Amino acid sequence: MRTNRDIAKLSNEELVELYKNGGQTIYFHELYRRYIPMLYGLCLKYLGNESDAQDAVMDLFEDLNQKITKYSITNFHSWLYTVAKNHCLLKIRKEKQVFFEDINETIMENGDFFTLLDEEQSNEEKSALEHCMTELGVEQRTSIEYFYYENKSYADIVSLTGYTLDKVKSYIQNGKRNLKNCIKRILEIQL
């Protein structure tokens, strides 16, 4: 059995081969020990704070011992750098909560029974719409005004109001239904 001093003298590539062939964690630990400062610095650069960087280094430790056995690694340093960078970028993407708007949903929202800003509305319809907008709850009215009058996307409304994406969709859908029923009721009364 090799001593720690002997193991420390081995090249990265030798350590990788020994770990792959024998599965002894002592070789993996030596590789990891050599690169903890680089991994931490890289994760800190991408993630921006110490605790996230420390968590990422620990996550990488768990992932790497399995990944090493799956890949043919000719330059350990470059391979490790790439794996760590990709790990950080994936973590950033997951935490950003990027909202994607399905175009079909927008078309459906705008292509319903009536369009709120239809220029061909009669004066009675415009007047009914204005009145019915005042009867909506604050959340529905705000979401509808942003969506129809200011052409904001769902993601824009989420950031402007703090409502969740599901709530914004619900407010718009329920608000449209309430407006349609209210306008219909007012126009039937006028007839």
> Are 78 and 118 in the same domain?
no
Evaluate if residue 140 carries a pLDDT over 90: yes
Same domain, 75 and 140: no
Domain count of the chain?
A: 2
Are 112 and 73 members of one domain? no
Nearest one of 176, 93, 166, 95 to 133, comparing CA atoms? 176
The residue range of the domain holding 186 is 103-190
pLDDT of amino acid 120: 60
Considering 80, 96, 112, which residue would you say is the last residue of a domain? Answer: 96
Residue 101 banded pLDDT, cuts 50, 70, 90 = very low
Domain boundary among 34, 61, 96: 96
Higher pLDDT: 112 or 96? It is: 96
pLDDT category of residue 148 using cuts at 50, 70 and 90:
confident
Q: Give residue 17's pLDDT.
A: 87
**Same-domain status, 131 and 170:** yes
Residue of 60, 67, 57, 73 whose CA lies nearest to 17:
73
Confidence check: pLDDT of 110 > 60: no
